[in-house]
Amino acid sequence: MTLRKISFTLFVLSLSLTLLNNICNAQLMQAKSLYTKADSLRGQLTPLRTCYDIKYYHLDVTVDIPRKFISGSNLFKFEATEDFNTLQFDLFDNLSVDKVEYKGKPLNFSREYNAVFADFPSTIPKGAIDSFTVYYSGHPIQATRAPWDGGFDWKKDTNGKPFVATACQGLGASVWWPNKDHQSDEVDSMLISVSVPKDLINVSNGRLLKVEDLKNGYKKFYWKVNNPINNYNVALNIGDYIHWDEIYAGENGNLDVSYYILRENNTKENRKHIEKNVRETLEAFEHWFGSYPFYEDSYKIVETAHLGMEHQSAIAYGNKFKNGYLGRDGSNTGWGKKWDFIIIHESGHEWFGNNITAKDIADMWIHESFTNYSEALFIDYFYGKEASQAYVNGNRGSILNDRPLQGPFHVNKEGSGDMYNKGGVLHNMIRTIVDDDNKWRAILRGLNKKYFHSQVEYNDIVSFISEESNYDFSKVFEQYVRYSSLPILEIKFVNNQPYARWVSEVKDFHMPVHIGIKGMEKQLFNVTKSFQPLDLKNASKQNLEIDTFNYYIGTLVQ
C-alpha cells in the first residue's frame, strides 16, 4: 500500500472541503451506480435465498491438475424457512452445472450470471428438512495474485511437483464450488472429499476421517468439519506435504495441532520457527479472546504458495518461515519483526472472521480491524503495552483515509483497505478511552462468547462494546467506520482558559480524549461538538499536550 503523509495544513483543508461538499456521500452515490445485476444476485438476500437454511454440505470434487480441471458434486441439506418451490444457489458461470438432482430425478434449472435457480416439482413446506445434489465441472478461474484475487492457485514446488490451493474471500466460494454463497448463512457442518493424484496429499478443513485408494491412480481424502463454517473458508491444499502433530494444553483442554509443510522445507529450523509462533499465538489469543473456537475441528497450519488466508482450522501459510511480513515490519518500529505475521494475523481470524462473522461483506471491517488489532495484543502479551501502542501508532503511515471502512450493502463489496490499520488504531483508541485493561479484555472475550459461531452486523458490535464499557461509542464508530475523514479536536484559549470541541461530520459527535499539561498526567475529558471549558490550571498553548499518540485525530490549537 502506498504511504501517504498529509501535512496539517492539507489535512485541515481536506476536511473543510469534505464538510462543505459532503464528498464522502457523493462518492458513495457514484459508486452505487456502477453495480450490476450480477453484483446484486451475489450480494443480496432475496426470498429465493432466505427460503432455505443450509444445514449440511457434502462437497465431493476431483482435481485434474494437468488439465486444471475440476469435477464433482455438492449435496445441499437444508431446512425450509418458508414454503417455496424455487431457490437460488450460486456457481460461477464459467463452470458447468451438469445436473441438479432431487430424490433421484433431475430438476429443471436456469442460470443468470453466477446465480442458478432450481425449480422443484412441488412446494417444499416450511420446516421441512430436505436435500438436493448439484453435479458440476469445468476449468475454475485461475488466481493471478492469490490471495488478493480469487480462484485456484496452480503452482509447482522446486522439485516440480504440483502445489495447488484455493483462496476466494471476497470473490466468493462459488468461484469453484456450488453453494449458497452468502456470509449470513454458515453451514452447520460438512464433509469435504477430495480426489488427487496418489503421490500428493490434500488438506482441507476439519479432521481427516480416512484416505481411500482409488483405481484410477488417485487418492480420496475425507475431511469432516464439525463446526459451522463460512463458504469462503472451505479450502483445498494439494502438495507433496509432510506432516506432524502435537498437543497444545489450551484453555478448553487439549487442542490437536497439526502442521503440513512441503517436503522440501522440512528442516529443524523451519519446524522450530512455526511451532514457536503457533504456541505463542494460541497462548496470547486465548488470554485476550477466550478459548480457541474450533477445538472439535483442531488447529492446522498448511503451507501454500500464496501468502496466507484464514481458512478455518486449516490456516494457509506462505510467509517463508520468516518473522515479520516476508521479513518486513510495516510499522517500522521493530516490534513487527519479532513474530511471524501470517501465523499471528491469520490465526487471529479464527476468533474475528471465523467465530464472529459479518453477515454482509460490507462489514468486513469487523473481521479485519479486530484481527489487525490482535497483532498489537500479541505484542502486548509478550512485550508489554507500550510496545503494543508503538506498533499501532507505527501502522498509521499506510492509512489513506480514502473511503469509509464500511462498504455498500447487498452488492458483495467491502470498504476501504484502511479497515486493517485504521481499524486497529480505532480499537487501540477505544481501549485508551475505556482506560481499564481488565474491562477491555472482558469486552473482547465477551464478544467471542456472546457471538460464538454467529453472524453479526455493525450494530451488534457497537452496542455490545457500548453496553459493556458503560459508554456510548456509537458516534465514535460512526465517524471512524462510516466516514473517511478524521475528527478534529479544536482548542481555543479565552482569557487563558482553554475550551475544546470536536469538528466532525457526525451529528452530535462526542468522544473522550486525554489532555494535559506537559510533564503531568493527562486527564480524560468528554468533549462534544460545542466548546466547553477544560479544567486545566496553568494551561497555555505552549504547555498543552494532547494524546495524539493513542488518539488518531486532527488537532487545531488557537
Q: For residue 456, what is the domain's CATH number?
A: 1.10.390.10
Neighbouring CB atoms inside 10 A of 518's CB total 11
SS3 at position 463: helix
Contact 307, 147 (CB under 8 A): yes
**What is the reported pLDDT for 14?**
35
Q: Nearest to residue 443, comparing CAs of 377, 385, 391?
A: 377
Residues 352 and 473 in one domain: yes
Residues 465 and 496 in one domain: no
**What is the reported pLDDT for 111?**
98
Contact 317, 302 (CB under 8 A): yes
Residues 228 and 253 in one domain: no
Residue for grid cell 459508554:
471
Tell me if 30 is assigned to some domain: no
Residues 176 and 295 in one domain: no
Q: Give the pLDDT band of residue 6 (cuts 50, 70, 90).
A: very low
Tell me if 29 is assigned to some domain: no
Q: Whole-number mean pLDDT of the chain? A: 94
**What is the reported pLDDT for 376?**
98
User: In CATH, what number is assigned to the domain containing residue 220?
Assistant: 2.60.40.1730
* CA separation for the pair 379, 392 (Å, rounded): 10
**What is the reported pLDDT for 47?**
98
**What is the reported pLDDT for 19?**
34
Q: Could you say which of 239, 262, 278 is where a domain stops?
A: 239
Q: Average pLDDT, stretch 278-302?
A: 98
Tell me if 370 is assigned to some domain: yes
Q: What is the DSSP string of 162-186?
A: EEEEEE-TTT-GGGTS-B---TT--
Tell me if 194 is assigned to some domain: yes
Query: Based on the structure, what is the number of domains in the chain?
Result: 3
**Does residue 13 carry a pLDDT above 50?**
no
Query: Which pLDDT tens digit goes with each residue over 96-135?
Result: 999 999 999 999 999 999 999 999 999 999 999 999 999 9
Query: Which pLDDT tens digit goes with each residue over 363-383?
Result: 999 999 999 999 999 999 999
* CA separation for the pair 124, 7 (Å, rounded): 62
SS3 at position 195: strand
Residues 229 and 245 in one domain: no
- What is this structure's pTM? 0.93
Cell numbers for 188, please give them: 452447520
Contact 464, 447 (CB under 8 A): yes
Range of the domain at 204: 35-239
Q: Give the pLDDT band of residue 27 (cuts 50, 70, 90).
A: very low
Tell me if 104 is assigned to some domain: yes
Cell numbers for 261, please give them: 509443510
Cell numbers for 423, please give them: 481499524
Q: In sequence order, which residues have a C-beta less than 8 Å from that of residue 97 and are 6 or more positions away?
A: 91, 109, 111, 116, 134, 135, 136, 178
Alpha carbon of 181 to those of 54, 502, 520: distances in Å?
11, 42, 55
Residues 359 and 317 in one domain: yes
Residues 246 and 235 in one domain: no
Query: Which pLDDT tens digit goes with each residue over 270-283?
Result: 999 999 999 999 99
Q: Identity (one letter) of the amino acid at 213?
A: D
**Does residue 360 carry a pLDDT above 70?**
yes
**Does residue 20 carry a pLDDT above 90?**
no
Quick one: angle between helices 421-434 and 458-469, nearest 10? Answer: 20
Contact 516, 522 (CB under 8 A): yes
Percent of the chain with pLDDT over 70: 94
Contact 73, 204 (CB under 8 A): no
Tell me if 347 is assigned to some domain: yes
Q: In sequence order, which residues have a C-beta less than 8 Å from that of residue 215 and are 6 or more positions away?
A: none
Beta bridge partners of 108: 119
Residues 107 and 167 in one domain: yes
Beta-strand relationship, 52-64 and 189-197: parallel
Residues 202 and 89 in one domain: yes
* CA separation for the pair 461, 130 (Å, rounded): 34
**What is the reported pLDDT for 34?**
77
Tell me if 177 is assigned to some domain: yes
| Torsion sign across C-alpha atoms 352, 354, 356, 359 | positive
Residues 514 and 461 in one domain: no
Alpha carbon of 193 to those of 9, 89, 103: distances in Å?
59, 20, 22
Percent of the chain with pLDDT over 90: 93
Contact 101, 57 (CB under 8 A): no
Query: Which pLDDT tens digit goes with each residue over 413-448?
Result: 999 999 999 999 999 999 999 999 999 999 999 999
Q: Reply yes or no: is the peptide bond before residue 147 cis, omega within 30 of 0.
A: yes
Residues 185 and 199 in one domain: yes
Residues 460 and 503 in one domain: no
Q: Give the pLDDT band of residue 342 (cuts 50, 70, 90).
A: very high
**What is the reported pLDDT for 32?**
46
